[in-house]
């Protein structure tokens, strides 16, 4: 008997073809239309198709992500299903996948997949990526790995997956640790296991969380605006090990003193933030001030996690413990 999976189709480039009126690709294809162009899927699994949406990646919001994860949570309770695949626009795929990883409490594989080229191109990578995602979703070795991103025959943990290139089919990478495994010709090969995974229980998220990016000579004007506009949490993308220009310090301190969680991340693509340096504006001063260190997560993933923790009612100190000591 073949295994049974469900595939949520949400849109993205994998569903796109060229619109003759605009001359550019737009989400068009239904789930069944995509599946019809993927050879060999019927031999792999029985598939339940869920046409959840036709959204380009930038149209996906945190609230829509939350709606999607609620639908996935209900479906995954079906004992018949061995796993779930979710197609998604690549621009925000890593955020939606990470939100699912934090909220879903299941051993079953949940696999996110997309495409970098649309169906009107000869080099459309959608069918190959979708077939690989299905193979991972039905493979017993993928159980317990958490939510995965499967693109270009690599299995990448959702917590680590980063889109690193605007166009390359190998765009998704794990910045620091590499893939969990690969899809080979005849099997799924798992090379490492995740040692940390966090589960957050919440019935809502707080979407009024802002990211402020700082650069050389930046001041605190945007931080001040976010505070005055009622932000409930602030992620500051700083420099290096987690440092900010001196001109921004007063605004950072004001944000902390309002009682909202203020998290420092780095614009560096690899490594973690830490209170290494002691000069003015450096991580050590920020931590004494009450700023939370964001660990190894990039700013956009810290924002997603902060939204969920605030929705769950976490205190600032609970948020600090999660980000500074957790996954």
| Contact residues for 23 (Cβ-Cβ < 8 A; gap 6+) | none
Give pLDDT, residue 186. Answer: 87
Average pLDDT over residues 273-284: 96
- Where in the chain is CATH 3.40.50.40? 209-325
Q: Which sequence positions are flagged as catalytic?
A: 13
In contact, 87 and 56? CB cutoff 8 Å: no
- Would you give the DSSP letter of residue 291? P
Give pLDDT, residue 327. Answer: 57
Give pLDDT, residue 80. Answer: 97
Average pLDDT over residues 262-288: 96
- Please choose, from the candidates 1, 19, 2, 138, the residue with its C-alpha nearest in 3D space to the C-alpha of residue 82: 138
Give pLDDT, residue 133. Answer: 98
In contact, 119 and 11? CB cutoff 8 Å: no
- Where in the chain is CATH 3.40.50.1170? 4-190
The predicted-structure confidence for 132-183, as pLDDT tens digits, reads as follows 999 999 999 999 999 999 999 999 999 999 999 999 999 999 989 999 999 9
d(CA 15, CA 302): 29
pLDDT band at 196 (very low <50, low <70, confident <90, very high): confident
HSE-up (13 A, CA, CB side) for residue 172? 30
d(CA 12, CA 27): 6
pLDDT band at 43 (very low <50, low <70, confident <90, very high): very high
d(CA 322, CA 201): 14
d(CA 321, CA 75): 32
| Contact residues for 166 (Cβ-Cβ < 8 A; gap 6+) | none
Summary mean pLDDT of the chain: 97
Give pLDDT, residue 1. Answer: 87
Average pLDDT over residues 112-139: 97
Average pLDDT over residues 252-261: 98
In contact, 48 and 6? CB cutoff 8 Å: yes
**Selecting from 3.40.30.10, 3.40.50.40, 1.10.3720.10, 3.40.50.620, what CATH number does the domain 209-325 have?**
3.40.50.40
pLDDT band at 195 (very low <50, low <70, confident <90, very high): confident
Q: Does domain 4-190 have CATH number 3.40.50.1170?
A: yes
Give pLDDT, residue 194. Answer: 86
What 3-state DSSP class applies to 216?
coil
d(CA 245, CA 110): 41
d(CA 8, CA 104): 15
């Amino acid at each position: 008997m073949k295994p049974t999976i469900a595939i949520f189709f949400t849109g993205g480039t994998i569903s796109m073809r060229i619109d003759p009126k605009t001359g550019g690709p737009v989400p068009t294809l239904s789930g069944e239309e995509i599946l019809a162009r993927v050879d060999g899927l019927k031999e792999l699994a029985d598939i339940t198709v869920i046409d959840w949406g036709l959204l380009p990646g930038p149209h996906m919001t945190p609230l829509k992500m939350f709606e999607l994860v609620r639908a996935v949570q209900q479906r995954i309770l079906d004992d018949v299903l061995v796993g779930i695949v979710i197609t998604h626009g690549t621009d925000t795929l890593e955020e939606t996948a990470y939100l699912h990883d934090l909220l879903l409490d299941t051993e079953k594989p949940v696999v996110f997949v997309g495409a970098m080229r649309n169906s009107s191109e000869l080099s459309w990578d959608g069918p190959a990526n979708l077939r690989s995602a299905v193979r991972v979703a039905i493979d017993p070795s993928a159980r317990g790995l958490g939510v995965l991103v499967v693109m270009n025959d690599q299995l990448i943990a959702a917590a680590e997956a980063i889109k690193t290139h605007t166009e390359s089919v190998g765009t998704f990478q794990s910045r620091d640790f590499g893939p969990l495994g690969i899809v080979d010709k005849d099997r799924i090969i798992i090379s490492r296991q995740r040692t940390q995974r966090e589960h957050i229980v919440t019935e809502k998220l707080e979407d009024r969380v802002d990211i402020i990016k700082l650069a050389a000579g930046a001041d605190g004007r945007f931080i001040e605006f976010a505070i005055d506009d009622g932000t409930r949490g602030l992620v500051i993308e700083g420099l290096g090990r987690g440092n900010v220009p001196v001109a921004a310090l007063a605004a950072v301190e004001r944000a902390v003193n309002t009682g909202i969680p203020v998290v420092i991340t780095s614009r560096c693509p690899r490594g973690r933030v830490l209170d290494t340096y002691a000069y003015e504006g450096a991580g050590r001063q920020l931590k004494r001030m009450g700023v939370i260190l964001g660990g190894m997560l990039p700013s956009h993933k810290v924002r997603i996690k902060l939204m969920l923790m605030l929705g769950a009612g976490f205190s600032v100190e609970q948020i600090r413990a999660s980000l500074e000591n957790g996954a």
